[in-house]
Amino acid sequence: MARTATPRSTAKSGSRVTRSSPVASGKAAAKSAAPSKASSLPARDAGSNRLDTPSDFAPEAVLAISDALKVALADTFALYVKTKNFHWHMSGSHFRDYHLMLDEQSEQIYASTDELAERARKIGGTTLRSIGHIARLSAIKDNDAEYVAPEDMLRELVNDNKTLIRSLRKAHAVADEHDDCATTSLLENFIDTAERRTWFLFEAARTPDRDGR
Ligand SMILES: [Fe+2]
């Protein structure tokens, strides 16, 4: 949950100031005059300097990578909700297979959310803060129809997974540009699992030809 930004003190974080003590105030003044390690940290995001996890990436790299990860995470959350919705509202003669497949896929998608969010935090960036933030960034199309035919659900999820793959690839390109191999490695796994989901959904939704294949 996001915290409300607190007014910033003139003292750098880490130095304790006892307002009632002149000795302590003197020490604080001396500390503020000397260049501290904290003061050398770049301000990346006004109001959230306390969230600047130290890393060797340039501030611009941290912003670019974490922004790309935010979009990928927004698409991931949206796809999770949509896959779970279709799992709950599945119907028809393939109910058991489709219901279980979508449950398995939704668990896989959900498991990637924490890793995407924490990757941004590990390098000193920030991540999604709200449901509104997800809605603003995600390119996954919403669907709150009362009834969706089973094969239509699968076909829609094929396209949604492809949308997610595109945002994962974009984030991969940004991370690669800044030599962030840990992020590219993480994203490669998520791209692979999204492509696997697309494959399974596509095959399950395929209309049999005259030979029944
Ligand atoms: Fe379930």
Q: What is the pLDDT of residues 89-135, one digit of tens each?
A: 999 999 999 999 999 999 999 999 999 999 999 999 999 999 999 99
**Tens digit of pLDDT for each residue in 124-149?**
999 999 999 999 999 999 999 999 99
Distance in Å, CA 165 to ligand 1 centroid: 25
Q: State the Cα–Cα distance between residues 139 and 210, nearest whole angstrom.
A: 37
Instruction: Please tell me the distance from the alpha carbon of residue 88 to that of residue 97, in angstroms, as a whole number.
Output: 13
Q: pTM for the complete prediction? A: 0.76
87 CA from centroid of ligand 1 (Å):
7
Taking the centre of ligand 1 as the mean of its atom positions, its distance from the CA of residue 173, in whole angstroms, is 35
Please tell me the distance between residue 197's alpha carbon and the centre of ligand 1 in angstroms.
18
Q: Is the dihedral of CA 78, 79, 83, 84 positive or negative?
A: negative
Q: What angle do CA 49, 55, 56 make, to 5 degrees?
A: 125
Report CA(132)–ligand 1 centroid distance (Å). Answer: 25
Query: How many angstroms is it from 104 CA to the middle of ligand 1?
Result: 9
**What span, in angstroms and rounded, lies between the C-alpha atoms of 43 and 24?**
27
In the chain the domains, ranked by start, together with CATH numbers, are 53-205 (1.20.1260.10)
Q: In angstroms, what is the span from residue 127 Cα to ligand 1's centroid?
A: 28
CA of 88 to the centre of ligand 1 (A): 6
Q: Return the structure tokens found at 169.
A: 């690839």
Separation between Cα atoms, residue 151 and residue 93, nearest integer Å: 11
Among residues of the chain, what percentage have pLDDT more than 90?
A: 70
